[in-house]
Structure 1
Amino acid sequence: MQYYLNGFHTGDPDLFEAVREHNPQVIPAEVDVLIAGTGPAGAVLTAQLAQFPEITTLVVEKNDGPLLRGHADGVACRTVEMFESFGLADRLLREGYGINEITFWGPDAQDRNNIVRTGRNKDVAEGLSEYPHLIVNQARLQDFLFQKAAKSPTRTVPYYGVELLNVENTNTGGYPVTATLRSNGEDITVRAKYVVGTDGARSNVRRSMGVKLEGDARNHAWGVLDILAVTNFPDIRFKAAIQNADGGNILLIPREGGHMFRLYVDMGALDPEDREARNRFTPEQLIATAQHTLSPFTLDVKEIVWWSAYEVGQRLASRFDDLEPGAPSDRDPRIFIAGDACHTHSAKAGQGMNVSMQDTFNLGWKLTAVLQGRSPASLLRTYSAERQAIAKDLIDFDVRWSKTLSAKPKNPQNPEAGGLDKDEMQQAYLLANRYTAGFATVYTPSLLTGGTAHQQLASGFPVGERFYSSVVTRIADAQLIELGHTALADGRWRLYAFADAGNEKFDALMNYLAMDEASPVRRFTPAGRDVDAVFDIKGVYQRSHADTTVDKLPATLLPAKGKYGLHDYQKAYASALIGGGQEIFEARSIDRSTGALIVVRPDQYVAQVLPLDATGELAEFFAAFMQPQLVLA
C-alpha cells in the first residue's frame, strides 16, 4: 500500500481527502453516472467510480436500507482477486469461510436406504489461483465495497428508499439521459450522462430500454436455507453433494462463522400449468425434505436465518445497452444493464453474484476513460459485445449444470432407469471447476484484446484470460510480492515487461516508453498528470534483487510523482525469490532468451503478449481506442 505521496497526514490511510460531501437530503439534478440498484454489480461500480474526484455518481436503491442477510454467498477465486485490487481481499479472507474440499454422498450399496460418502475432491483445482473459494454473506461483501466508496474523495453513499421508475436517452445536450425517480411519494427528474441499471431481474432500466429477459423455466424447484442446527452428519463443515436413493438432492455449503450452513434442497418437478406452486413452499417443507435426504443422519434445526424457494431457469437479454440493432455508427450507448438485470440462472454454481460483479468491473474502467476524455465514447460499445457473450456461455453451462445437480443416482440393480453413478457425478464437478472458480471468461480478439501470434513468448499468460499472479522480489526492499496484487482498480493499463537474457531489448523498451514521441505513455497521458496516471509499467529482471540497486534502474521504473516529485520504488522486481522457490519465468512459461511484454487491461485481463521490441504494434493497439492528449512534459 502506498500513501503520503502528496504530504504526510495522520489517521486512516484508506480515508481520502474529500472533494465533496454526501447530502442525504438533496438528490443532485445532474450527474455523470446514475446507478440504479445496490446489489453486487452496483456495489462494484460504485466503488470504482467513487475514487475519481472529477466524476459525479448518484446511487439509488428502492429498498429502505442495505441488504442485511441471505441471498448469494459463494465468492469465486476470481472475485477475491478482483477484491484485492480494491484493497479488500484481506477482509474477505478474514471473515470468509474457505472451501478446500467437496465430498460426495450417495446411496449405500449394501443398504440403499442409507447414504455413505462416495468420494472427495479439491474444491478448486491445483494451480488455478493463489486464493481459495470463499463463503461470505452477500450483505457483508457489499458493505466492504460501499465503505470503500464512502471513504473515497467523492464520499459516495447510496440514497435508499429511492426507486428509478423509467429512463430515456434524449440524445441531446451534455446530460442526454433523463431518469424519473420516486422518493417519499414524490417524482424527481435527474439528468445524467450515463445510467447503469443494476436493479435486478425486474429491472425498470431494462424495461425502459424495451429489452426483455428471454429464456426458459425448467419447471423444477429448489429451496435454500441458511440455518443453525444440530446434526450428526459428519461432513457438515465440508461443501457436500448429497443424493439419496429416492432422487433427493442436497448441495451443502458451510457458512462463515463456523456454525451456520446453507442447504440447497431439491424440491422436485413443478406443474408448468401452476405458476404459483413455487410460492406455496414453506420452510417446514424444505426442512422435512432435507431431513429425508440426509437419513439416517439427523438434522435438528434451531434457527432459520434466511430461506427462499426458486424455480430453475436461465434467461438472457439480447443486448446490455440501449443501442438498438442497426443504430447509426456515430451513436454510442448511454444506458447499460448489468447483473440480474440482463442474465439470470440457477444459484448452485455460485456464478450469479460473481459474474454480475465482473460485468461492472468491465464497464467501470470504460466509463472512467470516456468521462476523463482519454477514450472516445465508442469504447463503451465494447461492454455489451464482451459481456453478453460471456453471459451466454455461462447460461449454456448452467443448463447443463442444473441437470447434473437434479439427476438421480444410478441404481446398479436397475441400470435401465438411468441416472448418474458416483464417478460420473464427481467428474461433472471436476469439469465445472473453471466456471465455479470464476476462470471460464475468455475475451476473444477485438478492439481491446489482441491475437495469439506471440503467445509462445509467455504461454502462462493466455491472451483474453485474466492475468495470473506469481511471486517476485521487489528490488528496492527485498519484499516478496504477488505481482498481480500490485494492480489496483484505478482504471490504468498495466505493462509488465519481462527482461530478455541480456537486457538490451528491455532497456530499449524502457527508453522508448519514456522518451519516444510515438510512445503510448507520451501520447495518451494528460499533461500535468503523474507519468503513470494512465500506464502502470512494471519491470521484472532475471536476477536476484541483490544484483542491482535502485539508482541503476531506468527512469521509467523509478518515476518521480506527486507534488514533491517523490520516487516510486514499487515498479522494479527480480525473478529470484529469497529462500528459493519457482521463479515467475518458469511459473508462467516466459521465454528467458527473448523476454516478453504483457499488456493487461484495467479489469485484469491479458490484452496482448508482445516481443519487447514490438513498439509499433504496441502504439497501434492503443491508438485504436485512446485519444491523444497534450504532450506529456
Structure 2
Amino acid sequence: MQYHLEGFRPGDPSVSLERAQVPAGDVDVLIVGCGPAGLTLASQLSVFSDISVRIAERKSGPLQFGQADGIACRSIEMFEAFGFAEKVIKEAYHVNEVSFWRPGSDGARLARADRIQDVEDDLSEMPHVILSQARVHDFYLDFMAKSPCRLRPDYNRELLSVRRHAEGTHPIEATFACLDQESGNETIRAKYLVGCDGARSKVRAEMGHSLKGQSARQLWGVMDVLPRTNFPDIRLKCAIQSADQGSILIIPREGGYMVRLYIELDALDEAERAADRNITSEQLIGKARAILQPYAFEVAEVAWWSAYEIGQRLCDTFDDVSAKDRGSVRPRLFIAGDACHTHSPKAGQGMNVSMADAFNLGWKLAAVLRGQAVPAVLDTYSEERRGKAKELIDFDKDMARLFSEKPKTDAEAAQFQSYFKKHGRYTAGVETRYDPSMLTGRNRHQALAEGYVVGKRFHSAPVIRLADAKPIQLGHVLKADGRWRIIAFAPRADIGEKDGPVAGFCERLSTGLLARVTPKKADIDAVIDLRVVFQQSHRALDITKLHPLLRPTKGALGLTDYEKVFCPGLGPQDIFDMRRIDREKGAVLVVRPDQYVSMVAPVSHVEDIDSFFGHICPAQLRPD
C-alpha cells in the first residue's frame, strides 16, 4: 500500500484524503440495490472523486444475516484489489477438503466414499472460504465510507419507476418512495442506472426484460444451525447421498461451531410453490436427522433457515439496448447479479458471479465517464457477462441433478463425486474466459506466456520487489482503481539498462501510447500502469540504471515511485517457470482493470499494444 505521495499524513492510510463533493442533485451513476453486486459496483466507483454516485436500498439498513456465503478463490483475488482480502481470510472458514458419503456395502448405513482436496495446488494464491454475506457487505461499506466519495447507501428507498429520456445530459429519471418519511418521493436523474435489486428486480421490469427458464420443481431447505452430533465430518464440507431419504450438503461455517445444511425435500407439483408447503425448521431438522442416520443429530440453536425451489433463469440481455440497435444506441440502463440470472446455491456461485458482473461493469462505466474509453466499451458488458451466466446455469443444472439423483449402483453414486472433481476449477471461479472483442485480443503470441491465457484472469505468482527486497504476489499490485496494466517480462539477458529490449520498450511506450492517453498534469501511470519483471536476482540489478518510466516522478512533490520493478521469488520455481513464460524472448501482457489478460505480445511489438488501445481510448476523448 502506497501513501504519503502528496505529503506526510498521520492516521489510517486507508482513509482517502481526497474528498469528492457529495451529490445533492443529478448523478453520474445511480445504483439500485445493496446486495453483493450493488456494493461491488459502488465500491469500485467510489474511488473516483470526479464521478458522482448514489446507491439506494429498500431495506432499512445493512444486511444482518447472510444467505450466499461461499466465496470462491477468484472472489478473494478481487477482494485483494479492494484491500480487504486479509480480513475475509482471517474470519472465514477455509474449505480445505471435501468428503463424499453414500450408502455402504450393506446398501443402507452411510459410509465415507472419499475425501479429497477442495482446491488443486497453484490454482490460486487465495483459499476457498465460507463467510457470512453480511460480513462481506460490511467490508464493502467500510471501503466506500473511506473512499474519496465517502459513499454511504440511501436506505428506505423503494424504486417506483424508471424513465429513459431521448435527450439531456442525464437521460435516466428514477423515482423512489422514501419509506423513512411519512410522505414524499425523491426523483434522481442520472447518466447511467444499474439495477442490482435481486430476482424480483424492479429495474428489470421497467426495462421490459424478464427472467426466462424453468424451475426444476425440487424443494430444498437451508438452515444455519449449532449442532450436537457424532457425525465425524461435521467440520468438513460434505456431500451426502442416502439410500432412500434424499441428499444433504454440509457447509461448515466460520467461528468453529455453526454449520449450514442444504437439505433435499420432496418434489413440487406443477402448480405448487415452496411457500405452499408451509415448511418449518422442525421439519428440516427431522429430515436432516433421517438422512444422517445412524449418526445422532440434534440442534442446539437455529440461526437462520428458509425453503426454496431450484430455478435456473436468465435474461436475454443485461442492458437496455436491443439487438437491432446495438452499436447505434448507447446503453444507459444495466442489470447485474440476481436481477439477470438465478440458479441454485449448490455450486456456491451466486454471490461470486454477481460480484463478478459488477467488477466487469464498474471500470467500464468509470472509463467512459472520465473520457478514457469510447462508449462502445459499455456494449461489452452484456455480451461478456451473459455468456458467463449461461455457462453457470448449464453447470448448475448438471450439479443440481446429480446431487438429487438416487444412485442405483456404485458407478452412478460416484458420478457426482467425479463431476465435482472435474469442475473444481470452475467452482473456484478461475475458469472464466472472455471471447475476442475490442477488449480481448487474439492469442497470436500465446506461446510467449502459456500460463497467462488471453481472456482469462491474471494468475498471480510470487516475486520480489527490486527496491526493498519485499516478497509479494505480483497479482496484488492489480488494484481496483480503474487502471490498465502492462506487465513486461524481460528476456533472459536483459538487465534493464540503456539499449536493452525493456529500455527500448519503455522509451517507445512513454513517447507514444502513454503520451497520448495520459491527461495533462496527471501522473504518467494515471491511465496505464507499467510493471516489469526481470529474470535476475534482486541483488544483481541496479535500479538507478533503469529507464525513468520504471522509477517515475509523481505527485505534487515530485516523489519517485520505486514499486514498478520485480525479480523472481526465491522458491524452487520462479514466475517464469510457473507461468511458462519464454525465457529467451520474454513477453508483455496487457491486463484489463478487472484483472483479465487482454493480450500477449513480444517485447518488441509496442505498435501492437498501441493499436489495441487505439480502438478503446483514442486521444482527445470528451468526458461523458
Distance 2:405 2:53 in 1: 46
Matches within 5 A, 1:526-545: 526-545=519-538
Equivalent pairs, count: 613
1:7 partnered with 2:10: no
Matches within 5 A, 1:232-311: 232-275=230-273, 280-311=278-309
User: Over residues 46-84 of structure 1, what are the superposed CA-to-partner deviations in whole Å (9 max), with x where a residue is unaligned?
Assistant: 111111111110110001111101301100000000000
Matches within 5 A, 1:393-472: 393-411=391-409, 420-421=412-413, 423-472=414-463
What secondary structure, in the 3-state scheme, does the structure 1 residue paired with 2:618 have? coil
- AA in 2 matched with 1:602: P
1:217 partnered with 2:215: yes
Cα distance change on mapping 1:486 and 1:18 into 2, 3 Å = closer
CA contact (8 A) 2:245 2:290 kept: no
Q: Which residue of 2 aligns with 1:192?
A: 190
1:363 partnered with 2:365: no
1:52 partnered with 2:48: yes
- Give the Å deviation of 1:432: 2.0
1:70 partnered with 2:61: no
- The alignment's TM-score, normalised by the length of structure 1, stands at 0.95
- Give the Å deviation of 1:409: 2.5
Q: Which residue of 2 aligns with 1:113?
A: 108
- The alignment's TM-score, normalised by the length of structure 2, stands at 0.96
Distance 2:102 2:377 in 1: 51
What secondary structure, in the 3-state scheme, does the structure 1 residue paired with 2:539 have? helix
CA contact (8 A) 1:270 1:277 kept: no
Greater Cα shift, 402-411 or 141-150: 402-411
Distance 2:155 2:133 in 1: 18
Distance 2:147 2:275 in 1: 46
Cα distance change on mapping 1:366 and 1:509 into 2, 3 Å = same
User: Over residues 3-30 of structure 1, what are the superposed CA-to-partner deviations in whole Å (9 max), with x where a residue is unaligned?
Assistant: 10001111100111252476xxxx8331
- Give the Å deviation of 1:424: 2.3
What secondary structure, in the 3-state scheme, does the structure 2 residue paired with 1:501 have? coil
1:163 partnered with 2:158: yes
Q: Which residue of 1 aligns with 2:139?
A: 144
CA contact (8 A) 1:409 1:420 kept: yes
- Give the Å deviation of 1:146: 1.0
CA contact (8 A) 2:274 2:309 kept: no
Greater Cα shift, 582-591 or 274-283: 274-283
Distance 1:277 1:373 in 2: 49
What secondary structure, in the 3-state scheme, does the structure 2 residue paired with 1:547 have? coil
User: Over residues 559-593 of structure 1, what are the superposed CA-to-partner deviations in whole Å (9 max), with x where a residue is unaligned?
Assistant: 11111111111100112x34x43111100000011
Q: Which residue of 2 aligns with 1:332?
A: 330
Distance 1:387 1:278 in 2: 34
- Give the Å deviation of 1:325: 2.5
Cα distance change on mapping 1:496 and 1:279 into 2, 3 Å = farther
Distance 1:201 1:10 in 2: 45
CA contact (8 A) 1:458 1:596 kept: yes
1:521 partnered with 2:519: no
Cα distance change on mapping 1:156 and 1:352 into 2, 3 Å = same
What secondary structure, in the 3-state scheme, does the structure 2 residue paired with 1:221 have? strand
1:551 partnered with 2:549: no
Distance 1:375 1:17 in 2: 27
Distance 2:252 2:370 in 1: 44
1:322 partnered with 2:320: yes
What secondary structure, in the 3-state scheme, does the structure 1 residue paired with 2:412 have? coil
1:487 partnered with 2:478: yes
CA contact (8 A) 2:274 2:308 kept: no
1:354 partnered with 2:345: no
- AA in 1 matched with 2:82: F
Which of these residues, 152, 173, 181, is aligned with residue 178 of structure 1?
173
Greater Cα shift, 505-514 or 294-303: 505-514
Which of these residues, 466, 480, 485, is aligned with residue 475 of structure 1?
466
Unaligned runs of 5+ in 2: 495-499
Identity of aligned residues (%): 48
Q: Which residue of 2 aligns with 1:563?
A: 556
Distance 2:273 2:85 in 1: 42
Distance 1:627 1:598 in 2: 20
CA contact (8 A) 2:69 2:130 kept: yes
User: Over residues 258-311 of structure 1, what are the superposed CA-to-partner deviations in whole Å (9 max), with x where a residue is unaligned?
Assistant: 110000000121111223555521111111110000011111101111111110
- Give the Å deviation of 1:629: 4.1
CA contact (8 A) 1:228 1:301 kept: yes
User: Over residues 234-255 of structure 1, what are the superposed CA-to-partner deviations in whole Å (9 max), with x where a residue is unaligned?
Assistant: 1010000011110510110000
1:35 partnered with 2:31: yes
Cα distance change on mapping 1:467 and 1:96 into 2, 3 Å = same
Which of these residues, 76, 98, 101, is aligned with residue 97 of structure 2?
101
CA contact (8 A) 2:221 2:307 kept: yes
Unaligned runs of 5+ in 1: 413-418
- AA in 1 matched with 2:116: N
- AA in 1 matched with 2:113: T
Distance 1:251 1:19 in 2: 47
Q: After TM superposition, what 4+ stretches of structure 1 lie above 6 angstroms from structure 2?
A: none
Q: Which residue of 2 aligns with 1:416?
A: none
What secondary structure, in the 3-state scheme, does the structure 2 residue paired with 1:620 have? helix
Distance 1:34 1:591 in 2: 45
What secondary structure, in the 3-state scheme, does the structure 2 residue paired with 1:206 have? helix
What secondary structure, in the 3-state scheme, does the structure 1 residue paired with 2:175 have? strand
Distance 1:78 1:318 in 2: 26
CA contact (8 A) 1:229 1:300 kept: yes
- AA in 1 matched with 2:247: N
CA contact (8 A) 1:332 1:377 kept: yes
Distance 1:224 1:47 in 2: 30
- AA in 2 matched with 1:467: F
CA contact (8 A) 1:247 1:408 kept: no
Distance 2:57 2:273 in 1: 29
Distance 2:550 2:25 in 1: 44
Distance 1:156 1:43 in 2: 10
What secondary structure, in the 3-state scheme, does the structure 1 residue paired with 2:436 have? coil
Distance 1:448 1:131 in 2: 26
Q: Which residue of 1 aligns with 2:497?
A: none
What secondary structure, in the 3-state scheme, does the structure 1 residue paired with 2:185 have? strand
Cα distance change on mapping 1:582 and 1:328 into 2, 3 Å = closer
- AA in 2 matched with 1:622: F
Distance 1:598 1:541 in 2: 14
- Give the Å deviation of 1:438: 0.6
What secondary structure, in the 3-state scheme, does the structure 2 residue paired with 1:94 have? helix
1:81 partnered with 2:77: yes
Distance 1:179 1:277 in 2: 32
What secondary structure, in the 3-state scheme, does the structure 2 residue paired with 1:374 have? coil
Cα distance change on mapping 1:279 and 1:607 into 2, 3 Å = farther
Which of these residues, 509, 515, 527, is aligned with residue 505 of structure 2?
509
What secondary structure, in the 3-state scheme, does the structure 2 residue paired with 1:313 have? strand
Alignment RMSD? 1.4
What secondary structure, in the 3-state scheme, does the structure 1 residue paired with 2:78 have? helix
- AA in 2 matched with 1:17: L
Greater Cα shift, 98-107 or 267-276: 267-276
